[in-house]
Amino acid sequence: MVPGFAKWPTDSSPKAEGKTLRERVPRSAHADFTVDPSRPDAVRAVEESNAGRLPELTPIRVGRMAATPFAFLRGSAGLMAHDLARTPHSGIGTQICGDAHAANFGLYGDARGGLVIDLNDFDETAHGPWEWDVKRLATSLVLAGRECGATEDTCRRAAHDAVGAYRRTMRLLARMPALEAWNAIADEELVSHTDAHDLLGTLERVSEKARNNTSGRFAARSTEHTEDGGRRFVDAPPVLRRVPDVEAAAVATSLGAYLDTVSEDRLPLLARYALHDVAFRVVGTGSVGTRSYVVLLLDHRGEPLVLQVKEARPSALVPHLRTAGFTPEPVAHEGRRVVLGQKRMQVVSDILLGWTTVGGLPYQVRQFRNRKGSVDPAALATDQLDDYGRMTGALLARAHAHSADPRLIAGYCGKNEELDEAMATFAVTYADQTEADHTALLTAVRTGKVAAEMGV
């Protein structure tokens, strides 16, 4: 046997192995959720997750999480991981997103100017149970549906359909030749594959907006000309602000180490840009309070390329993976963890992904506003929610199948809807828990126990 390749001839069937795992963990067991006595209360969990963040920005993070139960879920990956670690799982590990809620799928640009749809946030990525991503996705669909006014039956059906699409897609990938499965279900086939035709109009509108969401457009709104013919960022507090020269220089200097992490064939491209300015920019919901910079580069024609240099904190899943019996992979650099996790899960990734260190802290580096667009699941028409669930479920299966044998997961998931029903039940129960957590946070904000800036 050659190291790195499969053993031949094989002496086992991954599909049969997966099926055997049902004897230890029945698929119906995935409906289970009870609050563990060791669970921290929601407010304490939020406060603990703020540790290490910039204190002046944590009220913005709390305010965004307090907006809705779905927003609370988006900012509480660690709390949900605590709960998931105490639920049944098959023991099958794969590269998981760690934060696979319904708003973390979207469009972005590929190297040839086209648009790709896939998972697009990997701050929490790690090797762990595939079920955690599926349950987080299903729960988020229930919460998004409740926010957009859907009936409980519609919310549950969206969760059920997402799990069903995951299961059917994994079974499809398991039947395909390995190379074909790796690149299967091209984006243009997603709507037909998942029977998501009601989403077509929404996807077209998002695609049109994404095509205009570029570095050039961002720079036109966020920079001004300088006397020497260059450009610089303009303060737009609290979201965008200029930084002291020493801080800007530290970020700029770190890009030298970043170049060592980029694929060598991209270096001639980056060498055609000159660095003009650095600014601090607040991002996301769960990410608010982390250090994040935008770097303005201009080519010989003055056309901009904006890079994001974003702090990479340890995955919030790590302590909970140990509770679930998974040994976290050694991490030499958190930015590298994020980048490699992204490349392991996406079919096509940003060609300028890399990582660096600024002031002793790890960062990931990527293109900013790379024709990104996303569907807001909480703003969908109620008859589109199940379509969106099926589409995201299929995308999640494709992502997981890159690092786990789809035959193994498909063998466990099976042909019937037992898993779909169980995880839909979990999703409704956990959505109720999230609403209770959100109420607790909202009460803490209203009584002044926790500082929050709402609407920012």
What pLDDT score does 250 carry? 98
How far, CA to CA in Å, does 448 sit from each of 40, 58, 65, 66?
20, 14, 16, 13
Amino acid in the structure at residue 258: Y
Q: What's the average pLDDT block by block, 10 residues per block, for the chain (456 residues)?
A: 77 91 98 94 95 93 96 97 97 98 92 87 97 98 97 98 98 94 81 90 92 92 92 94 96 98 96 97 84 96 96 96 93 97 95 97 95 93 96 96 97 98 98 98 96 88
Contacts of 407 (CB under 8 A, 6+ apart): 13, 14, 15, 18, 174
What pLDDT score does 189 carry? 83
Please report which helix (H) or strand (E) contains residue 261, including its range: none
pTM: 0.96
What pLDDT score does 8 carry? 76
Contact of 198 with 387, CB cutoff 8 Å: yes
CA–CA separation, 80 and 324 (whole Å): 13
First to last CA, the chain: 58
Contact of 25 with 413, CB cutoff 8 Å: no
Contact of 231 with 304, CB cutoff 8 Å: yes
pLDDT in tens, 188-245: 788 888 999 999 999 999 999 999 999 899 999 999 999 988 999 999 998 999 999 9
- Residue labelled with tokens 């960062």: 363
Q: Of 422, 411, 443, which is closest to residue 22 (Cα–Cα)?
A: 411
Contact of 383 with 195, CB cutoff 8 Å: no
Q: Of 386, 339, 453, 398, which is closest to residue 142 (Cα–Cα)?
A: 386
CA–CA separation, 325 and 376 (whole Å): 35
> Residue 59, Cβ neighbours under 10 Å: how many?
20
What pLDDT score does 1 carry? 67
How far, CA to CA in Å, does 134 sit from each of 121, 422, 442?
15, 12, 27
Kindly report whether the peptide bond that precedes residue 37 is cis, defined as omega within 30 degrees of 0: no
Contact of 278 with 330, CB cutoff 8 Å: no
Give the β-pairing of 240-242 and 361-367.
Answer: unpaired
